[in-house]
Amino acid sequence: MRRRNAWAVPVLIAAVALTATACSKATGYGSGYGASTPAGTTPASSMPASTGAMAGGVQTAALKVERTRAGMVLAGSKGLTLYYYTDDKPGSGKSVCTGACAKAWPPLTAPVKAPAGAKMPGPIGMITRAGGAKQVTINGYPVYYYAGDMAPGQAKGNGEGGVWHVIKLKASSGSTGTTGSSGNSGGSGTSGGYGY
């Protein structure tokens, strides 16, 4: 017999941990880990932290961990793989992917929260794109989806042009959003530098 509410315990633990962190005297997302928020980004501590809660009329999306041919990667709330673009300059406060690029590589919009139990490669922040949309950053890099990925577990954009890469994660057991997919992940299976 399958437990229907198996997800409730990790979510409750994450909510308690986030509340405790928010109420502590520590500052910044990466405090205690030696991380700092890159210039031009807004630290995650200023972003709403409650799962599914309404924050100023906008719902916070919980990111997930997905298994792909490239390994365990960060994914959006619907399980689609997330990417970073090496032509973006970390901490610059802007994305160089605009126009046709942004149609092929749509930005991940804020607010979001890290998946429970996953070790993120850097702090979550956000930048303001031309037009006012808030785009999520990780370790100062703007984060994107790939329009060619149609289902969870796909990573068709990984290695595209040598400049688009999945965001690799190390997850504790039980923190994956789904069991993953053996779907066509495509891509070269490479990831760029910067600890991703």
Look at the chain and report how many structural domains it folds into: 1
Residue 182 inside a domain? The answer is no
Q: What is the mean pLDDT of the chain?
A: 72
pTM recorded for the entire structure: 0.64
pLDDT tens profile 12-50: 444 434 333 333 333 232 322 233 444 444 444 333 333
Length of the chain, in residues: 196
Q: Which domain holds residue 103?
A: 8-171
Residue 192 inside a domain? The answer is no
pLDDT tens profile 100-120: 999 999 999 999 999 988 999
Residue 92 inside a domain? The answer is yes
Residue 3 inside a domain? The answer is no
Residue 177 inside a domain? The answer is no
Residue 166 inside a domain? The answer is yes
Q: What are phi and psi of 13, to 5 degrees?
A: -60, -45
Residue 49 inside a domain? The answer is yes
Residue 53 inside a domain? The answer is yes
